[in-house]
């Protein structure tokens, strides 16, 4: 059905009515007009018809439409569109482009405001100066460089602590290596308490999903070293001691010549003795911390940083287990530890007297 040309202006000027009958009639006329829009010669009339269509769609169908003027090239595409769905897609695209430009303009205004604030000569302490000083304080922090020097010295002396990173298959995560690095960094929280720490090596990363397709992050090499090599190839088997809670051998003292290994397993739901099985399979020494004397009914598995701090405490205090187990969470320590510590303090006071 085609409408005579003399009625185009009448259709375009139809006002929006809240009445359902009027709105349906208006939409019917608009549908006929848009289907015959190629027969309209006046371009302004075409734009007026499409504006009316956009207004109706936005009011009754919630159609996103552009609020500003439409560029000529988009008008030509709308004139050539034969279906309503194609025009609706164009309306939504134009609305998204308009919103994107508004966000970009807002970002540029905020950036200009920030630049004006930073470059303000009347400001006593500019934001730029504060940011630079904070960066320099972080990068050239004397405490940080002392810790790095202590770790570098431990690496030169051959004092190593190995984290076995070959257990990604036991974790249902693609970010195993990133989570492992995050937990290793906890080992350096109390490193300033020890004058001779151990340098950490994350080994056995050759079969990891995350590291097999991406290079290892060398930016972490200042604090620790990550490698795809296996620890049995890096050290002599006689020096290796695998610390696993499932071992029947109980650790009695700290061996200064040994290289202690802990499994890179941080999933508490995994109860299988994977580290013990790997140590037996590789025919290397294995041991467990004497938590049976002090632990409560909770799990005997400890985190990396807890084992790391326990070993360093044993090393620096001549195998003082009471002080070493202060790094174990309180939920895993029975009252017997506190009683033994109090008895030892009382004995020391009697000796002094």
Question: What SS3 class is residue 263?
Answer: strand
What would the mean pLDDT of 151-160 be, rounded to a whole number? 87
pLDDT tens figures, 49-58: 888 888 888 8
According to DSSP, residue 70 is labeled P
For the beta carbon of residue 313, count every other beta carbon within 10 angstroms: 22
pLDDT, position 309:
92
Q: Give me the mean pLDDT over the 143-149 stretch.
A: 79
Residue 1, pLDDT > 50, answer no
- The CATH-assigned architecture of domain 140-350 is 3-Layer(aba) Sandwich (3.40)
Q: Are 263 and 235 in contact (CB under 8 A)?
A: no
Instruction: Classify burial at 163, counting beta carbons within 10 Å of its beta carbon; exposed 0-12, middle 13-18, buried 19 or more.
Output: buried
Long-range contacts of 296-302 (CB under 8 A, 24+ apart): 296/331, 296/332, 296/333, 296/334, 298/331, 298/332, 299/245, 299/268, 299/332, 300/245, 300/332, 301/245, 301/265, 301/268, 302/245, 302/328, 302/332
CB-based contacts of 54: which residues, under 8 Å, 6+ apart?
63, 65, 66, 91
Does the pLDDT at position 117 exceed 90? no
Q: For residue 332, which of 303, 294, 304 has the smallest C-alpha distance?
A: 294
The 10s digit of each residue's pLDDT in 283-335 is 999 999 988 776 554 567 788 889 999 999 999 999 898 888 888 877 666 55
Contact (Cβ atoms closer than 8 angstroms) between residue 241 and residue 210? no
pLDDT tens string 175-192: 777 788 888 888 888 888
Evaluate whether 56 touches 30 at the Cβ level (below 8 Å).
yes
Is the CB of residue 326 less than 8 Å from the CB of residue 294?
no
Q: What is the pLDDT of residue 82?
A: 79
SS3 content of the chain, % helix, strand, coil (to 5): 55, 10, 35
Ordered by start, the domain boundaries in the chain are: 20-116+132-139, 140-350
Q: Quick one: pLDDT at residue 20? A: 63
At residue 257, the pLDDT reads 92
pLDDT of residue 149: 83
What is the Cα–Cα distance from 314 to 322, expressed in whole angstroms?
Answer: 9
Of the candidates 205, 206, 156, the one whose C-alpha atom is nearest the C-alpha of residue 184 is: 205
Taking a C-beta distance cutoff of 8 angstroms, is the pair 182, 223 a contact?
no
Torsion of CA 276, 241, 186, 226, to 10 degrees: -90
- State yes or no: pLDDT of 18 exceeds 60: no
Q: Across residues 218-243, what is the average pLDDT?
A: 83
Q: Tell me: the pLDDT tens digits for 49-99?
A: 888 888 888 887 788 888 888 888 888 888 888 788 888 888 888 888 888
Q: Provide DSSP, 229-260.
A: S-HHHHS-TTTEEEE-TT-SSBP-S--TT-EE
Residue 15 CB neighbours (<10 A): 7
Beta sheet of 240-243, edge-to-edge order: 224-226, 199-203, 160-164, 259-263, 240-243, 285-287
Whose CA is closest to 201, among 255, 259, 265, 148?
259
Helices 84-118/127-139 angle, 10° precision: 80
Mean pLDDT of 228-250: 91
3-state DSSP call for residue 202? strand
CA distance 177 to 206: 11
pLDDT tier for residue 276 given thresholds of 50, 70 and 90: very high
Q: Which of 128-132, 135-139, 177-181, 276-280 has the lowest mean pLDDT?
A: 128-132
- Residue 48: pLDDT over 50: yes
List the structure tokens of 178.
Answer: 């990133």
């Amino acid at each position: 059905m085609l409408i005579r040309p003399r009625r185009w202006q009448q259709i375009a000027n139809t006002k929006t009515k809240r009445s359902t009958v009027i709105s349906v009639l208006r939409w019917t006329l608009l549908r006929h007009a848009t289907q015959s829009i190629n027969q309209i010669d006046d371009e302004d009339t075409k734009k007026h018809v499409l504006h009316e269509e956009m207004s109706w769609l936005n009011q009754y169908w919630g159609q996103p439409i552009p609020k500003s003027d439409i560029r000529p090239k988009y008008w030509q595409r709308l004139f050539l569109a034969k279906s309503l769905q194609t025009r609706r897609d164009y309306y939504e695209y134009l609305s998204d482009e308009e919103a994107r430009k508004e966000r970009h303009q807002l970002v540029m205004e905020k950036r200009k405001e920030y630049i004006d604030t930073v470059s303000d000569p009347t400001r006593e302490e500019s934001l730029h100066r504060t940011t630079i000083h904070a960066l320099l304080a972080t990068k050239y922090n004397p405490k940080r460089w002392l810790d790095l020097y202590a770790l570098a010295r431990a690496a030169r002396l051959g004092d190593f602590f190995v984290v076995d990173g070959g257990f990604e298959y036991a974790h249902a995560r693609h970010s195993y290596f990133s989570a492992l690095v995050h937990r290793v960094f906890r080992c350096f929280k109390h490193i300033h308490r020890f004058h001779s720490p151990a340098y950490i090596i994350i080994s056995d990363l050759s079969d990891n999903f995350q590291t097999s397709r991406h290079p290892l992050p060398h930016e972490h090499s200042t604090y620790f070293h990550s490698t795809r090599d296996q620890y049995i190839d890096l050290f002599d088997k006689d020096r290796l001691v695998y610390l696993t809670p499932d071992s029947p051998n109980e650790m009695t003292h700290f061996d200064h010549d040994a290289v202690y290994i802990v499994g890179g397993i941080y999933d508490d739901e995994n109860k299988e003795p994977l580290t013990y099985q790997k140590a037996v399979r590789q025919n290397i020494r294995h041991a467990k911390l004497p938590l049976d004397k002090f632990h409560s009914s909770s799990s005997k598995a400890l985190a990396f940083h807890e084992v790391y701090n326990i070993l360093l405490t044993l090393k620096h205090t001549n195998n003082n287990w009471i002080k070493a187990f202060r790094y174990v969470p309180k939920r895993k320590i029975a009252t017997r530890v506190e009683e033994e510590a109090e008895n030892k303090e009382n004995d020391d006071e009697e000796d002094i007297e």
